[in-house]
Structure 1
């Protein structure tokens, strides 16, 4: 694992929660769904009809999803993408990059990680079929663009579905993350 990426990710998560506290004076909220549990939920006994506060938490132990995905595909997956998705459980987090606003993708729970596995598998198979460089996504824009890690060298790219990468954004996920500014998470005032 890239300890620099882990440190930068830890710092970004910390800054994201600081921005949230400064902007709203509270942790982010979302409607509680008893069928979609997560270690991120702060309330110990939430009710189904209320919103709950949450914050990102480190995965203990880290998911083995990327090892299983690599085994199915019979390829080695870039360690940065493994670190990205197996460091924290979290809802998506908004951020600003010099090129615009985006949403950083994370997994809420193990079931969400399995959904991600299926989506990444589909993305990788489409890349293989199109003979494009293999990449794995980790963020998206409000439009149809998303950010990926090139599996060969770990560089970060802007892509659109079914097309070759559009623009190189950074030499690594660490470099990309260092250029981001956390934004407040949409806050539900429903109690």
Structure 2
């Protein structure tokens, strides 16, 4: 029997708040064009290609070995908080606000999206090794500055604001669960 982690609980609370904000502000779920070539359990109804279709975050039902494979590729164990974060829901990125500004929590839309993430995280890790920086794993983008992202320190699970060029800038929180709990959800805009 599996137990729910603090990160999973925090993400559940965030998504519950995000859906509430979405309904309060727009009265409906976000919409995006249906793409049969990029399927997801998030779609709320089948549609014709290109038709605007409601979607929502949906809990993943099956465990993934994505982070075991990332750890094997890097010859390093991956912090369990980031594993819990990416293995909890299928979703498009989720907008949020914090004192530092607007950000998007990255999520996986489908298993193929997980493979894209795997390649990006491994590339990021190899770049960090080349620069002799400790391993961090990104999970959010800062909206106002494409050079900035938010990551988890793989060693201790602390959360950092990082720059692509300069590396870690400052610690934002002591844990991923605390960071997620500090976020204010923002309604997800429709995609064209």
Question: What TM bracket, shorter-length normalisation?
Answer: over 0.9
For 2:123, the equivalent position in structure 1 comes to 122
Deviation at 1:187, TM superposition (A): 2.5
SS at match of 2:114: helix
Return the alpha-carbon distance in structure 1 between the equivalents of residues 115 and 81 of structure 2: 19
- The separation in 1 between residues aligned to 2:174 and 2:140, in whole angstroms, is 16
Q: Is 1:154 aligned to residue 139 of structure 2?
A: no
| Aligned partner (choices 11, 18, 22) of residue 16 of structure 1 | 18
* 1:98–1:179 CA contact under 8 A, matched in 2: no
CA contact (8 A) 1:94 1:102 kept: yes
CA RMSD of aligned residues (A): 1.3
Paired residue for 1:164?
167
For 1:111-168, what per-residue CA distance to the aligned partner results, in whole angstroms no more than 9, with x for missing partners? Answer: 1000000000000000111001110000011212100000000000001113220010
Cα deviation for residue 2 of structure 1 reads 6.4
Q: Mapping of 1:21-170 within 5 angstroms? A: 21-43=23-45, 45-142=46-143, 143=145, 144-170=147-173
Find the aligned partners of 1:64 and 1:22 in 2 and give their Cα distance. 37
Q: Runs in 1 of length 4+ with deviation above 4 angstroms?
A: none
- C-alpha displacement of 1:10: 0.4
Contact 2:151 2:159 in 1 (8 A): yes
Offset at 1:62? 2.5
| Residue-pair matches, total | 188
Q: Secondary structure at the match of 2:179?
A: helix
For 1:159 and 1:41, locate their aligned partners in 2 and report how far apart those are by CA, in whole Å.
33
Whole-angstrom distance in 1 between the partners of 2:121 and 2:50: 33
1:6 aligns with 2:11: no
